[in-house]
Chain A
Amino acid sequence: MTGRKLTGYWLILPAALWLGLFFAIPFYSLLANSLYDPEGSVLTGYHVSYRFANFADAIRDSGPELWRSLWYAGLATAICLVLGYVLAYAIAFKAGKWRNLMLVLVIAPFFTSFLVRTLSWKLILADDGFIVDTLRFVHILGEDGRLLATPVAVIAGLVYNFLPFMVLPLYASLEKIDGRLVEAAGDLYASPLRGFLKVTLPLSMPGVVAGTLLTFIPAAGDYINAQLLGSPNQRMVGNVIQDLYTDTGDFAAAGALSVTLMVIIVAAVLVYIRRAGTEELL
């Protein structure tokens, strides 16, 4: 019997080692990075000087980008939630025999390169493109108004890229809802709207929470949309971290900024989960 008891350990060991070595321990390295003496460089080497002022420097230097990332990611998540809910609801309750096809259509964009799709947004929103021309014609945009290199383009790109992460968990929780409960609300003279607000929506909360997290977290760290669809005025914190590593080679500042971003996100997630009352999700 002891051999059988050990099986679980043998099965979990490789994955645990891999995640421990290449996910958990690196966080420790990152933390060490963030406390480096900023005088060091890649060539001369760094040493950990427990310089906590790195964090203050990071927040001072990159405050606007940090704030903008949270703001853009939050707005993109809210838009994703509305669009994703409509789509997930339509698939779960209205699509009938087309349900599987619509699900495939939701997953399909996953398999076309993220970067190639984002580049095609650049074409769609281009200055002499159809959308900009139309918006100028109806005077939503001015004569020389544009969409590219504006917050609108960056947020639209974020919404587009992370929408599947919202739709799938929403669909998973909507699909489980017993249709008889909604019917019962109708039988008890609840209007369809009231039935939705009192029955369907509360039952789909686990999907809402999971979808929100899966959208907000990657969106807050993303810099591809800001780089390809925005201008320097739309730089997000990811752009700054990436540049600090690859252009400046300033590992201390990059580490401090990464840790700051992670701390803010973890704090936001914990507050959000407590508010939403779904702590068992973790």
Chain B
Amino acid sequence: MNGVQRLGRWIGDHLVLFGGLLVVAYMFTPIAVVMLMSFNDNSRSRNIYAFRGFTLDNWTNVCGPNGMCEAVARSVGIGLAATIAATILGTLAAFALVRHSFVGRSAMNTLIFLPMASPEIVMGSSLLALFVATGNSGRLGLVTIFIAHVMFCLSFVVVTVKARLAGLDRNLEQAAMDLYASEAVTFWKVTFPLVLPGIAAAALLSFSLSFDDFIITNLNAGQTVTFPMFVWGVAQRGVPMQVNVIGTIMFLISLLIVVGNMLATRRKPAAA
């Protein structure tokens, strides 16, 4: 009986882990395909849905497809601007929510939660309705995209920074004050460095949300083309393989940042 039970438990233990690894494989298959296709030689065939042979051409001639690199640059610019704005506004709001009392706090919490719980198509059409109603339908472009991106990144920043701030040991700040540090010095020497990893994570999340957004952007972009809009456009006609190069580069950069961050925090466990 005991042996059977032990066998059952061993299978149970490893079955779950094995299942988890299968799910990870499911999540990574498309990325592996993106990487593989970035080396696909489709110069002789219009059928893009097959691997035709190995080539480095897509990597050496990334900007070949008309308008793609311009779209990538535009998306990076919008992403950086929206990230900076959303991170600043969101961090201030997180401090207000965790450290200060004010009237309307629970209403504010709801206002921050709602954008994360609304379908993008509804938020996008609402914003478009506002721009049209205020007579700005002719001015859709970079500015309206920026407004939209800050709006939907903001909530994610607040939630991420708030979590970090709430988990902070306030004794550390108390100790600094006991040692005659002024409030400002305590903030910049103790509080801020401790919250910084949360702010960095929030900024990274913001940038990827902004860079990747299609549904809201597409409704509010006017004639401006971002990278996801470029991909959507070519998806109807025939996808240039260079799109996969951009996907691979994005993946590698983010992996580098995340892994680098992991190693850095491991080396200094006190800061974690």
Contact = CB atoms under 8 A, between A and B. Distances in A.
Given A30-B129, A94-B16, A255-B125, A116 B27 contact: no
Interface in B15-68: 16-17, 19-21, 23-24, 26-31, 33-34, 37, 48-50
B270 interface: no
B210 to A, nearest CB: 12
Contacts of A241: 121, 125
Interface in A68-124: 83-84, 86-87, 89-91, 93-95, 100, 102, 104-124
Give the secondary structure class of B's interface.
helix
Contacts of B139: none
A24 interface: yes
Contact of B127 (A9, A22, A89, A109): A22
Interface string B153-174: 0110010000000000000000
B93 interface: yes
B250 interface: yes
B224 interface: no
A223 B23 CA distance: 24
Contacts of A246: 218-219
Contact of B151 (A5, A19, A91): A19
B232 interface: yes
A29 to B, nearest CB: 4
Interface residues of B, number: 92
Contacts of B2: none
A224 B214 CA distance: 9
A160 B30 CA distance: 9
Contact of B37 (A123, A220, A237): A123
Interface string A10-44: 01101110111011111101101100000000100
A116 B243 contact: yes
A219 B250 CA distance: 24
B129 A255 contact: yes
A158 to B, nearest CB: 13
A22 B258 contact: no
B80 to A, nearest CB: 15
A90 B25 CA distance: 14
Contacts of B208: 110-111
B37 A120 contact: yes
23 contacts: A12-B108, A14-B88, A27-B126, A30-B125, A32-B129, A86-B23, A89-B20, A90-B20, A105-B28, A110-B254, A111-B251, A113-B228, A115-B232, A116-B34, A116-B231, A120-B30, A160-B26, A160-B27, A223-B215, A224-B232, A238-B121, A255-B125, A265-B119
Interface of A: 5, 7-9, 11-12, 14-16, 18-20, 22-27, 29-30, 32-33, 42, 83-84, 86-87, 89-91, 93-95, 100, 102, 104-124, 126, 128-129, 160, 163-164, 192, 213-214, 217-218, 220-224, 228, 237-238, 241-242, 245-246, 251, 254-255, 258, 261-262, 265, 269, 282
A62 B53 CA distance: 45
Nearest to A221: B119
Interface in B62-117: 88-90, 92-93, 95-97, 99-102, 108, 110-117
A123 B33 contact: yes
A230 B122 CA distance: 22
* A-B pairs with lowest CB-CB distance, top 8: A221-B119, A90-B20, A8-B100, A111-B254, A26-B126, A11-B96, A15-B93, A29-B129
